[in-house]
Homo-oligomer: A and B are copies of this chain.
Amino acid sequence: MITANNSPLRRQVAELVVVRASGHASDHQRRYPRWEQSNKKLQRLLSDGVGGVILLGGTTTELISRCKNLRQWAQAPLLICADVEEGVGQRFEGGTWLVPPLALGQLFQKEPERAVALAERYGRCTGQQAKSCGLNWVLAPVCDINNNPANPVINVRAWGEDPQTVAELICAFERGLCSAGILGCAKHFPGHGDTETDSHLELPIVGHNQERLNNEELVPFRAAIASGIESVMTAHLLIQCLDQQRPATLSAAVLKHLLRDELNFQGLIVTDALVMESISRSHGSGEAAVMAFEAGADLILMPEDADEAIDAICAAITSGRIGLPQLNAARQRRHLALEKVNNNSQATNTLQVSNEKTSELESEADRILARELVEASLQVRHPKSIQSVDSGINLLRVDSLLPCPMLAADAPALTLPSSSNFQPLICHNLGLSPWQPNPKHPLALERLGDGSILLQLFLRGNPFKGRKDASEPWTEAVQQLQRDSRLAGLIVYGSPYLWEQLQQVLDADIPAAYSPGQMPEAQLQALNALLATNEPQPATGPTKFNEFTD
């Protein structure tokens, strides 16, 4: 190590690093022990002055406890953030889980005012719950425009497919966040919508010229900056017209010249996670951090090795490669941001006390919002037309079962079809394959058994999958089931592009539904809409005694 752990310079630099930790209390509960600091290391880093933590995993009760502990360990104002783009419940069980933003982008085309009002409530709900849990910084809104349906990483996370829609909705979201007294973050600058490469895995290259960027990708960022967004997160993208060599995260042309000078952004610039392979493959922790800081970033998010990042920046300052004024400016921006949210610490405490009293984080208004968002984005063909059968199959396809937060044992997607005698059969990434090598008959039907099939596809085009799902022949499978008169119904939860594609081959008489959301509320509404059972059913879970005290 170049400087002593507690030299004043090192502490000042450490303030600008944001490390990742699990939302769980114990080390052995970590899901990603390689990336998530152990408690011992976390305590040491915080006592060395590290100024930010990004949390993932666990429940909201754990998050509350975790944030308290982190603040005790830090003994200085701390930025605590999470990627709660779709409500706190997206990342922390117990919070409200909202439909993905693209749902509102679609609603905006028909009912712009309603969409804007919902987006503001979306931001307020997310911000209030995040704050009640102890976070002070929400890493949202996504300001990317999903102008490329094949985008593997943005997709339904975007607020729309065109600049104006996204700009309107993210400003509304930001107003909601702001009213809750929590910091927001516009990402991923200068726009990650038109890529077909997952930057978690490799560096995407964007070939658009400056005029196109100006008229398209930059529009929502300009709006976010005008509306007072407190931070902007950089993208790991090579934008050739701006910088031939360096990805945006490491490019002074993008961060200093475009974002600071041209767009006049005065808030915090934070890198996307430096461990992402599009960066870490080419640059070590130290050099990546120095390059990002040199390029104009204020905060260094998730360097693979936090000490290395801090030491390398210290060395760059000591050697004169980076000037002290830049360090001071970054610290000052962080200080101002923290001041803004720490004013409201009294309010936070009050909220937390009231939570402890009722045990409920989610308010009645939050529940109504979650329900209304599902209603507003649900599409249904032939309502109430799936009849009960003697013996049918409820065929579900999910991205992953380990874990599968939308599919607990009492999920409506399992229990409601069961009450019409469609028995669940779950296909997932680690399960037996339902496919056979026959292009026109891709489903190996003898593996599924007899009876008509209700098909529920939970596919939203997640990152990290390398578009594997896209190679599954669901279009041909739907055609095959129709030819055999075995398709009782179809529900797509997630990707609107998959839904559009399947609608093109769907026979006119097949009951079908689409929801951008995958959460239990979306399942409940879609199935209540399609199943011809007498009454809409609440999600009461198992009705037979089946797990108890032994």
Contact = CB atoms under 8 A, between A and B. Distances in A.
A457 interface: no
Contact of A430 (B28, B153, B425): B425
A408 interface: yes
Interface string A275-286: 111001000000
Contact of A301 (B157, B272, B447, B549): B549
A139 B326 CA distance: 61
A280 to B, nearest CB: 7
Given A427-B432, A447-B447, A550-B153, A543 B59 contact: no
B31 A541 contact: yes
A337 to B, nearest CB: 18
A144 to B, nearest CB: 10
Interface in A491-550: 539-543, 545-550
Nearest to A370: B28
A56 B546 CA distance: 13
Given A24-B59, A26-B362, A464 B426 contact: no
A24 B404 CA distance: 18
B447 A545 contact: no
Copies of this chain held together in the complex? 2
A542 B28 contact: no
A513 B26 CA distance: 29
Contacts of A403: 403, 408-409
A548 B68 contact: no
Contacts of A404: 401-402
Contact of A34 (B68, B280, B542): B542
B69 A65 contact: no
Nearest to A358: B39
A273 B64 CA distance: 33
A128 interface: no
A407 interface: yes
A403 B347 CA distance: 37
Given A59-B24, A83-B550, A358-B39, A540 B34 contact: yes
A217 B360 CA distance: 46
Interface in A43-92: 54, 56, 58-62, 64-66, 68-69, 72, 83, 85
Contacts of A434: 432
